[in-house]
Chain A
């Protein structure tokens, strides 16, 4: 555990030192590449501004993620139970992935406006895919002998779903969530770039226009912290939802 944190920390510190030295050495102007110390100062001075925009982005991600989760798990369950739905939806879901979210972002802003909803939709779109695909795989992946065991007990379809399929799908659902939450920031930021008045993406674009490059870096740091925290939140949820998982991993 300590080494897991120690090694990357050392690397990061060395990198930042190198960066600082290079900026001083070559007298790089701050509007091209600000020194780490300058970014630190911006972080301190602009704290409340950064926090405000971070919370906006956080809201977009959370709402978008939850929307994608509900719809994704729902669609996966429907596709699992009605093969005709799987045959119709699955190829479209896969095909839709070839369309870059960037490409449809302007349309979404046009349809859903400059506010929260267009970013929520954008985040949801990008999160949706890994959740659907993983959940469906998980539902299908349940041990057929375990399913048969319940059949022999004359269990109903619902009982088989809740007692075998859903618990065996959980690790897959969480894998989907982990991928989903990692890419959710992309959706929200793109949405903010294309059209918004708030959020970290907006702040970066705004800072860029005013050559406040250190503010861009400060925003990036907030965004990274946001993304990593959300990821670990999902990991925490995963651990508390599946206490048995750690036991089998420990073996």
Chain B
């Protein structure tokens, strides 16, 4: 606990080293990512926790290649890559379901892009939809469904990209507390069964603690890794567990200073 930028050589699914990014603003430049180094092992569930506006989403955009970084190295399976384009699946707070597609057509977007929807993909989609409680809604349009159901469909679509690494950018941020807790439960179940490597961005301390193996805490903008916390609590975790409460205190302390920086 508290080790800065720890790495696990030889065993990393995804690793970022000294990622830097600034954006031009009013003639000068605004540093958003100062120095981000982190690593994720195969099948690990990692959360990135930081005050809002700290550049977490920029980090993901850099990783997927939507934003060019100024410096730093990204490696996937211990090989240096230009970016994660094509190697990662990405899910946002917005469900981004296409209103003109039925739910089934929406979740099959990934297979469709990468060369045709086969019977196999279709049955896998139906199986996953059953699992997240969307069976019977395959033919419905997104407009007919609740936010929670739409986000579940977005999760299924993300899984059906068939990538080992999932980047989840505050995927449940727009949901009410009850729906969010259902979604967390579903996500955890799917992660355990599919053994995906997950990197979750959140500003919700409890969410990070409930789900992750390890948590990286970021500083306020410009973002750097402030610290790393391992969560060695057996799952399923309860927010009332003593060790849970302890770790929550630790994380909140780490964040507190950063939140003060944001408002100063």
Contacts and interface: CB of A to CB of B under 8 A. Distances in A.
A167 interface: yes
B66 A151 contact: yes
Given A146-B98, A167-B100, A244-B99, A155 B113 contact: yes
Contacts of B209: none
A140 to B, nearest CB: 17
Interface residues of B, number: 25
A243 B88 CA distance: 33
A154 B85 contact: yes
B96 A244 contact: no
Nearest to A160: B113
B113 A150 contact: yes
A149 B88 CA distance: 11
Contacts of A149: 90, 96, 109
B92 A145 contact: yes
Nearest to A166: B100
Contacts of B161: 153
A153 B143 contact: no
A247 interface: yes
B66 A148 contact: yes
A54 to B, nearest CB: 36
A149 B144 CA distance: 22
B193 to A, nearest CB: 23
A146 B64 CA distance: 14
Contact of A167 (B86, B88, B98): B98
B94 to A, nearest CB: 6
A152 interface: yes
Interface in B109-146: 109-110, 112-114, 141-144
B96 A152 contact: no
Contacts of B112: 163
B144 A247 contact: yes
Contact of B86 (A154, A159, A247): A154
A160 to B, nearest CB: 9
Contacts of A170: 100
A147 to B, nearest CB: 10
Interface in B58-78: 64-66
B114 A153 contact: yes
Contact of B143 (A145, A146, A159, A247): A247
A244 B141 contact: yes
B98 A251 contact: no
A244 B100 contact: yes
18 contacts: A145-B96, A150-B113, A151-B85, A152-B86, A152-B89, A152-B90, A153-B110, A154-B85, A154-B113, A154-B114, A159-B113, A163-B112, A164-B98, A167-B98, A167-B100, A242-B100, A244-B100, A247-B141
Q: Which 7 A-B pairs have the closest CB atoms?
A: A248-B143, A247-B143, A244-B141, A167-B100, A154-B86, A153-B113, A155-B113
